Structure 1
Amino acid sequence: MADESEAAQVLAAADRLFNERGVQAVGMDSIRDAAKLPLKRLYRLFPSKSALVCAVLEQRDRDVRTAITEYVEARADTPGERILAVFDYLLEWFAEPGFRGCLFINTVGELGGTSDDVGRIARRHKLAMRDYLTELVTACSYPAQLADQLMILANGAMATAAVQGDGPHAARHARAAAATLLAAAEHREIS
């Protein structure tokens, strides 16, 4: 039980630091200090920084997918409303003070060329999100390719919000573009 609690402490500290500074800028000493654990204990829980990065991404994957699903289900009744609620979730997320972009996109940008594991975890996360959008699109009887288009909008909004520093603006534009895509799909004008 102590291992689980300490591992959760380390994951939370590493997630925060990686999000704030980037993976490469954060050393294990900084994570040790933030988690308030001895370095030896930290390495017993996570034998390498690479293992810790993967664990942080795995945890972030679970947290994000749960948060989006719960948000959408709590705020939308119809399948079409659920699709737009995904973009409402982005609006709230981008407005958070600690928003620095998508940790998956950022980490692939930093380590994707040198870490197959990071690329694999990020791809799995993004594919799971696309699958979620596919479920929502299918429930509306819209063409399946709409899910890919919505995913590109969401990821583009994440990158734009992080780079330009005006997250709500990017989210509002992405939501408006999503609404346009939904209207076109309603009339089967999407390709």
Structure 2
Amino acid sequence: MGDEEKPSRVRMTPGARRVLEAAERLFYERGIHAVGVDLIAAEAGVTKKTLYDRFGSKEQIVVEYLAGRDERWRGLLGAHLDAVAEQGPAARVLAVFEASRAWVAEYGAKGCGMINAHAEISDPAHPAHPVITGQKRWMLDLFTRLAREVDAGGADRLARTLMLLHEGALVAYGLGVFPDPFGQALGQVRDLLGEGAAGKRDVPPR
């Protein structure tokens, strides 16, 4: 999870893996609160005792679900960024949005799993809460680093704008209110990067 505090994780046995695979599907499709441990155990083909022996609590299953999803997202994003590593800062910013477009097409039919989870888990004391907020802080940090390469003087403002466009596209995709929100966001980002490049010539880096 980057530099943020890492949650406690469970060692995956075959039984634990079956539980987690069932929970991941059910939590994303139906919601975390709507899915109980009885259903997870039944879908995984294990007893409730096995479930609790492996995870200890439903809360820990939620941690594993979200942390695993976060790891997969960061892996996909990293591959997209590596692919454009030599193409300049604008290409790297655009690659984040292209990665998200690819992610939702494969894993995000119902929108962002972190945003959906936060709608149900708003208590900072919940062990999964740092996973949710940690991913979004990490994304803002990433946008800030990339924005400094585009316009060092206006990096914070540009990064927050990019973050808003990114998160808005995730929400719009999940709601299905209009087609291809990431295509819309990419158009806005290209406009911003054009302005940022001009600004970089006018404002010396600090």
TM-score by length of structure 2 reads 0.80
Find the partner of 1:10 among 3, 19, 23.
19
Q: What residue is the counterpart of 2:5 in the other structure?
A: none
The verdict on how the C-alpha distance between 1:75 and 1:16 changes in structure 2, with shifts beyond 3 A counting, is: farther
Q: Does 1:117 align with 2:127?
A: yes
The answer (yes or no) to whether the contact 1:108–1:118 under 8 Å persists in 2 is no
Q: What residue is the counterpart of 1:138 in the other structure?
A: 148
Find the partner of 2:92 among 82, 85, 88.
82
Report the CA distance between 1:100 and its aligned residue.
0.8
More helix by share: 1
The answer (yes or no) to whether the contact 1:65–1:129 under 8 Å persists in 2 is no
The verdict on how the C-alpha distance between 1:103 and 1:115 changes in structure 2, with shifts beyond 3 A counting, is: farther
Q: Give aligned pairs, total.
A: 187
CA distance in 1, matches of 2:133, 2:124: 15
The answer (yes or no) to whether the contact 1:93–1:99 under 8 Å persists in 2 is no
1:49-128 pair list within 5 angstroms: 49-75=58-84, 77-96=87-106, 99-113=109-123, 116-128=126-138
Report the CA distance between 1:111 and its aligned residue.
2.1
Q: Does 1:155 align with 2:167?
A: yes
1:16-35 pair list within 5 angstroms: 16-35=25-44
- The runs of 5 or more residues in structure 2 that have no matched partner are 1-10, 201-206
- The runs of 5 or more residues in structure 1 that have no matched partner are none
Identity of aligned residues (%): 33
Structure 1 or 2, whichever has the larger Rg, is 2
Q: Does 1:172 align with 2:172?
A: no
Q: Does 1:37 align with 2:46?
A: yes
1:56-83 CA deviation, whole Å, 9 max, x = no partner?
1122222211211112212553221111
The answer (yes or no) to whether the contact 2:151–2:199 under 8 Å persists in 1 is no
The verdict on how the C-alpha distance between 1:134 and 1:114 changes in structure 2, with shifts beyond 3 A counting, is: closer
Report the CA distance between 1:118 and its aligned residue.
3.3
TM-score by length of structure 1 reads 0.86
The answer (yes or no) to whether the contact 2:19–2:40 under 8 Å persists in 1 is yes
- Structure 1, 151-160 or 90-99: larger mean CA deviation: 90-99
Report the secondary structure of 2:35's partner residue: coil
- Structure 1, 37-46 or 75-84: larger mean CA deviation: 75-84
- Structure 1, 151-160 or 70-79: larger mean CA deviation: 70-79
Report the secondary structure of 1:25's partner residue: coil
